[in-house]
Amino acid sequence: MFRTAILRSAAVASRTAVRTSIPRLSTRATVAAPSALRFVPKVASWNVVRGYASGGGLEKAEVYERIKQLLSGFDKVNDPSNITEKAHFANDLGLDSLDTVEVVMAIEEEFSIEIPDKDADTIHSVDKAVEYILSQPDAN
């Protein structure tokens, strides 16, 4: 099927090239040719530039508030008033290792980033999470 499509497109391209490259000399009156016969492919130079626009990044206070709101939504957090900038997930908030993985996944979803496993293993507290998110240029 793929071979047939390639052969057909090559045949169409060669017919178009033959029609456009051979000049016709005739003593008879010239009849206007259809536009397909007069098509001359132009060589276009495309300079593709991929640009990113951002709003200037995130601020530390905004990131902290979003993480605080995210953590307060977890049922296993002992006391939402314990969520501070230096709060440790296991020691201060009462989360186990599986809950910490869920927190990291929720942070990925909240900030639209992907955290590799080696970096996720280092995020055990709110300040480490804030620090990591601020270091990511794609976080929003």
> What is the secondary structure of 3-32 as a DSSP string?
HHHHHHHHHHHHHHHHHHHS----SSPPPP
Q: What is the pTM of this model?
A: 0.59
Please check the confidence at residue 73 and state whether its pLDDT lies above 80: yes
Tell me the catalytic residues. 96
Residue 125's beta-bridge partner residues? Answer: 88
Nearest to 90 by CA among 53, 56, 124, 42: 124
Q: 58 versus 88: which is more confidently predicted? A: 88
Q: pLDDT digits over 89-120, tens only?
A: 999 999 999 999 999 999 999 999 999 999 99
The phi, psi pair for 125, rounded to 5°, reads: -145, 170
CB 120 within 8 A of CB 38: no
Average pLDDT, the chain: 80
Residues present in the chain in total: 140
Q: Which residue has the tokens 């953590």?
A: 71
Choose among 52, 125, 122: nearest CA to 89: 125
Question: How high is the pLDDT of residue 78?
Answer: 79
